[in-house]
């Protein structure tokens, strides 16, 4: 199994994208939720519209309610993954080239 801490570069083992979905649209809204013990808490509602990566299929929507900590963690993870994807593409080798 591959780990997100592996060194950059494409692996000989193909990535299984058979159940992957492609982001087609996103919606971001500010909001707040009330907690009896903490009062009003700032939140962000994130709606991700997506379709199957391979083949046809209907648009589905995943809705997430994120607090500041979750947003920070997601931003850091996405930035790191985007940087690593650039490195993967720059260093990528086909299995026969190894």
Q: Give 42's strand partners.
A: 32
**What is the layout of strands, in order, in the sheet containing 60-66?**
21-35, 39-52, 60-66
Rg (CA), the chain: 18
Mean pLDDT to the nearest integer, 21-34: 96
In a domain, 10, yes or no: no
When pLDDT is averaged across residues 51-80 and rounded to a whole number, the result is 93
Structural domain count, the chain: 1
**CA distances in angstroms from 88 to 3, 8, 55, 62, 95, listed in the order given:** 14, 5, 26, 28, 14
Domain hosting 48: range is 22-92
Round to whole Å and give the CA distance between 10 and 23: 22
**Does some domain include residue 8?**
no
Tell me if 14 is assigned to some domain.
Answer: no
Residue 28 belongs to a domain: yes
pLDDT (0 to 100) of residue 4: 65
Q: 60 lies in a domain?
A: yes
pLDDT at 46 over 90: yes
Strand 60-66 and strand 39-52: the pairing is: antiparallel
Q: Residue 98: which pLDDT band, with cuts at 50, 70 and 90?
A: very low
Q: From its phi and psi, is residue 78 left (phi > 0), alpha (psi between -120 and 50) or beta?
A: alpha
Contact yes or no for 46/28 (Cβ under 8 A) = yes
Is 79 part of a structural domain of the chain? yes
Q: What is the pLDDT of residue 16?
A: 76
Tell me whether residue 5 is in a domain.
no
């Amino acid at each position: 199994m591959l780990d997100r801490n592996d060194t950059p570069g494409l692996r000989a083992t193909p990535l299984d994208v058979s159940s992957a979905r492609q982001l087609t649209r996103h919606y971001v809204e500010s909001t707040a939720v009330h907690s009896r013990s903490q009062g009003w808490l700032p939140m962000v509602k994130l709606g991700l519209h997506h379709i199957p990566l391979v083949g046809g299929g209907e648009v589905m929507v995943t809705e997430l309610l994120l607090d500041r900590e979750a947003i920070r963690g997601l931003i850091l993870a996405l930035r790191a993954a985007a940087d690593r994807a650039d490195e993967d593409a720059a260093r990528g080798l086909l299995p026969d080239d190894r």
